[in-house]
Structure 1
């Protein structure tokens, strides 16, 4: 039986194998196990600067409680309802607030707010300075992604296919964008992103949409992935990772679909390559990095999408999304390891273990520090050393 700490992509993979009628031999069954780690030559070190345990993250319900970083603070939440603010440099606690409900989505930060959501669809905005509640709004659908905060609004995506723009001062709904959901989707939903007054959001139907942050009017919609196959599981093409906006481009990737680079102005496609991931991509050193749903790691040329390298030495280790930190690419895995890869070759250059529970929540690179949060609630700040 799969343990409660396992991520949903493993469950989906097993279900797909069953539905598609794969009668595996004993040798094939062995291939469902995570690849064992081998010794590497370490040329860099990820050194712990500080750590705090904030309490468990509910992996059974696939809570992806990504911390937020703003104004010299790291804001993090656990599944029991606690929200913490820590000094970014020292890890010293600044404040703690209990919202008195299990947290399912967050933490969104911006314009003086830290925003989380609970499993009942309530969105709660806290004051960044002291953690006091500024407002709370009840929505019709559950929120399991990180709210986007900026341009005078808080934008949330619900599991029932809605994008909602809430007034950042009062929490009142300003606008709503509806999406028809496929028959079957993954558990997670993508976190929207606000950039220069535009909301970019990945949808469960494999499309990326750009909306005006002020009124929710659609600017463009572009398909990232096209469902394939006859079985519903084969046709799952969710975008579960937040879009990445860099300059005039937007990058996005889907499950069982593609990774794409689009024009942020009109959604015009620059390039697209076959890929499958549950996570966001990251960009650095002229490349786009992606953690595959199978545990592979890939690098694509940022200009034309040509594959630069692939690393298949972490297969089935349920990787987090990648972070470009310093001059290395870092991914977390199901055993609490962080793996550092050379961005030019994909070879391992460093490895450290921060916990024995999975690190599947997106890593955060911020200046000279990398932040990682395990399912056990171990929040760690690390520095790169050579």
Structure 2
């Protein structure tokens, strides 16, 4: 489970986390430790193309510093304020800047910008070509996700439920939208996405919302998860993984809730299935893939949502969100392994240890390359070899 966060006061959240630990102490060792990895005959291999050290990521404060890719440049940031742009294909550094601040969210790229945010809520826009600072903006709230960049705006999502749209040219605020949050939420926020002039965002109240990117006016709102139970902990239904837009559909999933497919135009539901995750889903090969909170991996049919398969051999390995890459499914785990699954059966077909630290940050797919960033700051570009 992710860190707990209280909308009003965090002391009780800490107490709840301690209580959860006490409950876990009554379980057997086999029930709480990560399962051991099984042996199999691999048919594919993930091969390193290049790697670099970008500085560590502060997982204790749940910084979500995922790399961003635009114009052939992969931009990565560390928690201590180092931002580096690499050539996407070769890994050669293009520029580097040290902001000398603690970063919590990023990297949003597009429109010639690379945007990061610090723990004080300061958004900093850098020139994608050379790393020069272009503008700053102070948001009234903490941001621990990547800004969305597109349609002439930069959109920030704060942990207290606010969405803010900024003019991408100068950082001036264009609009803001506030939402009401539950008393108890997970520590973390989904990064919003921009598609076709819409800002689509997952909220900590279990809802998905679409706003007009120009003025922030809501176009639709849809509930992904309905809180259940009488205890606050049972009613946590955060959407902490970014929505995924494919064509005219939006896919999203929540913690202790559902995975859904919605119309991008009006938010109308196409299908919904019970699910629980902290991550974004991946879409490809006719399926929607999900890393469950327990460590199971699921595939759902894109058209109707039926479960195509499930893999239960990675339980309690604190999986990353899945990536659909070169017609296979890839998930990372707490020990730095990447597991490759057959998209049709869910069976293991490959495994690669890329680091000895956790892979938690969302992976990035671009054509024939998969980009992975571990918590200790190792950035790796990989390609897939078959046979």
- How far apart are the structure 1 equivalents of 2:191 and 2:334? 22
Query: Does 2:337 align with 1:337?
Result: yes
Aligned to 2:368: 368
Paired residues of 1:7 and 1:60 also in contact (CA < 8 A): no
Aligned to 1:192: 192
- How far apart are the structure 2 equivalents of 1:19 and 1:38? 29
Superposed CA deviations along residues 11-31 of structure 1, whole A, max 9, x for unmatched, are: x9x95794699587553x430
Aligned to 2:9: none
* 1:261-276 matched pairs, under 5 angstroms: 261-276=261-276
- How far apart are the structure 2 equivalents of 1:45 and 1:122? 41
Query: Does 2:69 align with 1:69?
Result: yes
Aligned to 1:257: 257
- How far apart are the structure 1 equivalents of 2:50 and 2:69? 15
* 1:113-192 matched pairs, under 5 angstroms: 113-192=113-192
Paired residues of 2:238 and 2:254 also in contact (CA < 8 A): yes
- How far apart are the structure 2 equivalents of 1:124 and 1:40? 47
* 1:203-242 matched pairs, under 5 angstroms: 203-242=203-242
- How far apart are the structure 2 equivalents of 1:150 and 1:24? 47
Paired residues of 2:85 and 2:93 also in contact (CA < 8 A): yes
Aligned to 1:283: 283
Superposed CA deviations along residues 170-218 of structure 1, whole A, max 9, x for unmatched, are: 1111000000110001110010000010000000000000000000000
Superposed CA deviations along residues 326-348 of structure 1, whole A, max 9, x for unmatched, are: 01100000000000000000000
Aligned to 1:3: none
- How far apart are the structure 2 equivalents of 1:17 and 1:329? 35
Aligned to 2:10: none
Shift of 1:146: 0.6
Q: TM-score, normalised by structure 1?
A: 0.95
Paired residues of 1:7 and 1:318 also in contact (CA < 8 A): no
Paired residues of 2:85 and 2:96 also in contact (CA < 8 A): yes
Aligned-residue Cα RMSD (Å) equals 1.8
Superposed CA deviations along residues 38-84 of structure 1, whole A, max 9, x for unmatched, are: 21210000000000011100010111111001111100000000110
Question: Residues 151, 31 of structure 1: CA spacing in aligned structure 2 closer, same or farther, 3 A cutoff?
Answer: same
**SS of match in other structure, 1:37:** coil
Q: TM-score, normalised by structure 2?
A: 0.95
Paired residues of 1:16 and 1:233 also in contact (CA < 8 A): no
- How far apart are the structure 1 equivalents of 2:27 and 2:212? 54
- How far apart are the structure 2 equivalents of 1:16 and 1:142? 21
More deviation, 299-308/57-66: 57-66
**SS of match in other structure, 1:227:** coil
Paired residues of 1:334 and 1:358 also in contact (CA < 8 A): yes
Paired residues of 1:318 and 1:334 also in contact (CA < 8 A): yes
Query: Does 2:311 align with 1:315?
Result: no
Query: Does 2:287 align with 1:300?
Result: no
Structure 1 moving runs of 4+ over 4 Å = 14-17, 19-26
* 1:9-158 matched pairs, under 5 angstroms: 18=19, 22=23, 25=26, 27=28, 29-158=29-158
**SS of match in other structure, 2:177:** strand
**SS of match in other structure, 1:60:** helix
- How far apart are the structure 1 equivalents of 2:26 and 2:90? 52
Superposed CA deviations along residues 234-261 of structure 1, whole A, max 9, x for unmatched, are: 1000000010000110000000000000
**SS of match in other structure, 1:251:** strand
**SS of match in other structure, 1:274:** strand
